[in-house]
Amino acid sequence: MIKGVIFDMDGVIVDSERYICEAAIRMFAEHGLDVEPDDFVPFVGAGENRYLGGVAGRYGFPIDIERDKARTYEIYGEIVKGKIEPLSGVIDFIERCRVRNLKLALATSADKIKMLTNLREIGIPPETFDAIVNGLDVEKRKPHPEIFLNAASKMNLSCAECLVVEDAVNGIAAGKAAGAKCLGLTTSFAAEELKDADWIALTLAEAPEEAISW
Protein backbone atom coordinates (compact mmCIF):
# COMPACT_ATOMS: atom_id res chain seq x y z
CA MET A 1 0.00 0.00 0.00
CA ILE A 2 1.24 3.48 -0.83
CA LYS A 3 2.89 5.25 2.10
CA GLY A 4 4.82 8.08 0.50
CA VAL A 5 5.05 10.42 -2.48
CA ILE A 6 8.35 11.62 -3.94
CA PHE A 7 8.16 14.79 -6.02
CA ASP A 8 10.63 15.93 -8.61
CA MET A 9 10.81 19.73 -8.63
CA ASP A 10 11.21 21.26 -12.10
CA GLY A 11 8.19 20.53 -14.24
CA VAL A 12 6.30 18.99 -11.32
CA ILE A 13 5.85 21.64 -8.64
CA VAL A 14 7.25 24.59 -10.58
CA ASP A 15 7.88 25.42 -14.23
CA SER A 16 11.40 26.82 -14.24
CA GLU A 17 12.79 25.06 -17.30
CA ARG A 18 12.64 28.05 -19.60
CA TYR A 19 14.34 30.22 -17.00
CA ILE A 20 17.25 27.89 -16.32
CA CYS A 21 17.58 27.49 -20.08
CA GLU A 22 17.67 31.26 -20.52
CA ALA A 23 20.22 31.58 -17.72
CA ALA A 24 22.43 28.91 -19.30
CA ILE A 25 22.20 30.54 -22.72
CA ARG A 26 23.24 33.86 -21.18
CA MET A 27 26.12 32.20 -19.33
CA PHE A 28 27.45 30.60 -22.51
CA ALA A 29 27.00 33.91 -24.36
CA GLU A 30 29.26 35.59 -21.80
CA HIS A 31 31.94 33.17 -23.00
CA GLY A 32 31.22 34.02 -26.64
CA LEU A 33 29.33 30.79 -27.36
CA ASP A 34 25.87 30.94 -28.95
CA VAL A 35 23.70 27.94 -28.08
CA GLU A 36 20.03 27.13 -28.77
CA PRO A 37 17.21 26.05 -26.41
CA ASP A 38 16.86 22.75 -28.29
CA ASP A 39 20.46 21.90 -27.38
CA PHE A 40 19.38 21.36 -23.77
CA VAL A 41 16.41 19.05 -24.36
CA PRO A 42 18.32 15.72 -24.13
CA PHE A 43 19.69 16.73 -20.75
CA VAL A 44 16.46 17.85 -19.04
CA GLY A 45 16.03 16.19 -15.66
CA ALA A 46 19.62 15.01 -15.35
CA GLY A 47 20.91 17.81 -13.12
CA GLU A 48 22.74 21.01 -13.97
CA ASN A 49 26.17 19.36 -14.32
CA ARG A 50 24.84 17.24 -17.16
CA TYR A 51 22.51 19.99 -18.40
CA LEU A 52 25.38 22.43 -18.88
CA GLY A 53 28.11 19.89 -19.50
CA GLY A 54 26.17 18.06 -22.18
CA VAL A 55 25.63 21.23 -24.20
CA ALA A 56 29.24 22.30 -23.68
CA GLY A 57 30.36 18.93 -25.00
CA ARG A 58 28.25 19.33 -28.14
CA TYR A 59 30.13 22.50 -28.99
CA GLY A 60 33.54 21.42 -27.75
CA PHE A 61 33.42 24.17 -25.14
CA PRO A 62 35.91 23.70 -22.26
CA ILE A 63 33.46 24.24 -19.41
CA ASP A 64 34.58 24.90 -15.85
CA ILE A 65 31.52 23.28 -14.33
CA GLU A 66 31.68 24.78 -10.84
CA ARG A 67 32.41 28.31 -12.08
CA ASP A 68 29.92 28.21 -14.94
CA LYS A 69 27.19 26.51 -12.91
CA ALA A 70 27.55 29.13 -10.17
CA ARG A 71 27.24 31.90 -12.76
CA THR A 72 24.19 30.22 -14.31
CA TYR A 73 22.49 30.04 -10.90
CA GLU A 74 23.33 33.69 -10.27
CA ILE A 75 21.65 34.70 -13.52
CA TYR A 76 18.76 32.34 -12.81
CA GLY A 77 18.13 33.90 -9.40
CA GLU A 78 17.85 37.32 -11.02
CA ILE A 79 15.54 36.11 -13.80
CA VAL A 80 12.96 34.28 -11.66
CA LYS A 81 12.26 36.95 -9.05
CA GLY A 82 8.49 37.37 -8.99
CA LYS A 83 8.03 35.25 -12.11
CA ILE A 84 7.46 31.68 -10.91
CA GLU A 85 4.64 30.10 -8.92
CA PRO A 86 3.47 26.58 -8.09
CA LEU A 87 2.16 24.66 -11.06
CA SER A 88 -1.55 23.96 -11.28
CA GLY A 89 -2.83 21.62 -8.57
CA VAL A 90 0.37 21.41 -6.54
CA ILE A 91 -0.95 22.83 -3.27
CA ASP A 92 -4.19 20.84 -3.45
CA PHE A 93 -2.36 17.61 -4.31
CA ILE A 94 -0.02 18.03 -1.34
CA GLU A 95 -3.08 18.48 0.86
CA ARG A 96 -4.71 15.37 -0.62
CA CYS A 97 -1.58 13.42 0.28
CA ARG A 98 -1.53 14.81 3.81
CA VAL A 99 -5.19 13.86 4.33
CA ARG A 100 -4.19 10.31 3.47
CA ASN A 101 -1.27 10.52 5.96
CA LEU A 102 1.25 9.98 3.19
CA LYS A 103 4.83 11.02 3.78
CA LEU A 104 6.24 13.54 1.30
CA ALA A 105 9.71 13.94 -0.16
CA LEU A 106 11.29 16.32 -2.64
CA ALA A 107 13.95 14.74 -4.85
CA THR A 108 15.51 17.12 -7.35
CA SER A 109 18.58 16.81 -9.52
CA ALA A 110 19.08 20.55 -9.12
CA ASP A 111 21.69 21.83 -6.70
CA LYS A 112 20.57 23.07 -3.28
CA ILE A 113 20.84 26.75 -4.22
CA LYS A 114 18.40 26.40 -7.12
CA MET A 115 16.07 24.23 -5.07
CA LEU A 116 15.88 26.79 -2.26
CA THR A 117 15.45 29.65 -4.74
CA ASN A 118 12.49 27.89 -6.32
CA LEU A 119 10.83 26.97 -3.02
CA ARG A 120 11.23 30.52 -1.75
CA GLU A 121 9.80 32.07 -4.90
CA ILE A 122 6.76 29.78 -5.03
CA GLY A 123 6.04 30.04 -1.30
CA ILE A 124 6.42 26.37 -0.38
CA PRO A 125 8.70 26.05 2.68
CA PRO A 126 11.19 23.16 2.82
CA GLU A 127 9.41 21.99 5.99
CA THR A 128 6.49 20.93 3.79
CA PHE A 129 8.47 17.76 3.04
CA ASP A 130 9.44 14.95 5.38
CA ALA A 131 12.64 14.45 3.38
CA ILE A 132 14.59 16.44 0.80
CA VAL A 133 17.33 15.23 -1.54
CA ASN A 134 19.08 17.54 -3.99
CA GLY A 135 21.61 16.93 -6.71
CA LEU A 136 24.56 17.47 -4.40
CA ASP A 137 23.40 14.60 -2.17
CA VAL A 138 23.88 11.90 -4.80
CA GLU A 139 26.74 10.62 -6.92
CA LYS A 140 24.72 9.15 -9.76
CA ARG A 141 22.14 11.19 -11.63
CA LYS A 142 18.87 10.17 -13.24
CA PRO A 143 18.13 7.83 -14.98
CA HIS A 144 20.02 6.08 -12.16
CA PRO A 145 17.59 5.45 -9.27
CA GLU A 146 19.90 6.65 -6.46
CA ILE A 147 18.05 9.89 -5.77
CA PHE A 148 14.69 8.16 -5.28
CA LEU A 149 16.18 5.33 -3.22
CA ASN A 150 17.79 7.97 -1.03
CA ALA A 151 14.54 9.93 -0.63
CA ALA A 152 12.52 6.83 0.28
CA SER A 153 15.16 5.76 2.78
CA LYS A 154 15.02 9.18 4.47
CA MET A 155 11.29 8.61 4.98
CA ASN A 156 12.00 5.10 6.33
CA LEU A 157 10.14 3.64 3.37
CA SER A 158 10.99 1.43 0.45
CA CYS A 159 10.48 2.75 -3.07
CA ALA A 160 7.92 0.00 -3.59
CA GLU A 161 5.75 1.90 -1.10
CA CYS A 162 6.15 5.21 -2.93
CA LEU A 163 4.71 7.13 -5.85
CA VAL A 164 7.28 9.11 -7.83
CA VAL A 165 5.94 12.20 -9.60
CA GLU A 166 8.07 13.16 -12.58
CA ASP A 167 7.90 15.12 -15.82
CA ALA A 168 11.05 13.87 -17.58
CA VAL A 169 11.95 10.68 -19.42
CA ASN A 170 15.11 10.33 -17.30
CA GLY A 171 13.03 10.75 -14.15
CA ILE A 172 10.44 8.13 -15.06
CA ALA A 173 13.25 5.70 -15.91
CA ALA A 174 14.86 6.41 -12.53
CA GLY A 175 11.60 5.96 -10.66
CA LYS A 176 10.83 2.63 -12.32
CA ALA A 177 14.40 1.43 -11.77
CA ALA A 178 13.97 2.25 -8.07
CA GLY A 179 10.88 0.04 -7.93
CA ALA A 180 8.36 2.85 -7.44
CA LYS A 181 5.09 3.50 -9.20
CA CYS A 182 5.25 6.65 -11.33
CA LEU A 183 2.94 9.49 -12.24
CA GLY A 184 4.18 11.25 -15.35
CA LEU A 185 3.23 14.87 -15.97
CA THR A 186 3.26 16.15 -19.54
CA THR A 187 4.70 19.56 -18.67
CA SER A 188 8.01 18.88 -20.42
CA PHE A 189 7.54 15.80 -22.61
CA ALA A 190 4.66 14.34 -24.61
CA ALA A 191 2.60 11.51 -23.13
CA GLU A 192 4.03 8.95 -25.55
CA GLU A 193 7.53 9.73 -24.31
CA LEU A 194 6.40 9.05 -20.73
CA LYS A 195 4.70 5.78 -21.64
CA ASP A 196 6.55 3.82 -18.94
CA ALA A 197 4.73 5.75 -16.21
CA ASP A 198 1.85 4.03 -14.40
CA TRP A 199 -0.34 7.12 -14.76
CA ILE A 200 -0.07 10.20 -16.95
CA ALA A 201 -1.64 13.62 -16.36
CA LEU A 202 -1.22 17.14 -17.66
CA THR A 203 -0.54 18.58 -14.19
CA LEU A 204 -1.16 17.56 -10.58
CA ALA A 205 -4.58 19.21 -10.90
CA GLU A 206 -5.58 16.31 -13.18
CA ALA A 207 -3.78 13.57 -11.23
CA PRO A 208 -6.07 10.53 -10.86
CA GLU A 209 -7.14 9.56 -7.36
CA GLU A 210 -5.86 6.02 -7.87
CA ALA A 211 -2.31 7.35 -8.08
CA ILE A 212 -2.40 7.98 -4.32
CA SER A 213 -4.87 5.31 -3.26
CA TRP A 214 -3.33 1.99 -4.28
Catalytic annotation, pick one of 10, 15, 68, 167: 10
Which has the minimum average pLDDT: 45-54, 97-106, 141-150? 45-54
Judging by DSSP bridges, how do beta strands 181-185 and 4-7 pair with one another? unpaired
In the chain, the domains with their CATH numbers are: 4-15+84-212 (3.40.50.1000), 17-80 (1.10.150)
On whether the CB atoms of residues 14 and 33 are closer than 8 A, the answer is no
Terminal Cα-to-Cα distance of the chain (whole angstroms) = 6
Per-residue pLDDT band for 147 (boundaries 50, 70, 90) equals: very high
Burial class (CB in 10 A: 0-12, 13-18, 19+), 41: middle
Region 149-174 average pLDDT: 97
Stronger pLDDT, 83 or 141, i.e. the higher one = 83
Q: Is 10 known to be catalytic?
A: yes
Query: What does the pLDDT look like over 14-46, one tens digit per residue?
Result: 998 899 999 999 999 999 999 999 999 888 867
pTM given for the model? 0.88
Percent of the chain exceeding pLDDT 70 equals 100
Q: Which of 8, 68, 111, 167 is catalytic?
A: 8
Rounded-to-integer distance, Cα 96 and Cα 100, Å: 7
Cis peptide before 126 (omega within 30 of 0): no
Asked if 19 and 13 count as a contact pair (C-beta separation under 8 A), the reply is no
* 8 assigned to active site: yes
DSSP states along 49-106:
HHHHHHHHHHHT----HHHHHHHHHHHHHHHHTTT--BPTTHHHHHHHHHHTT-EEEE
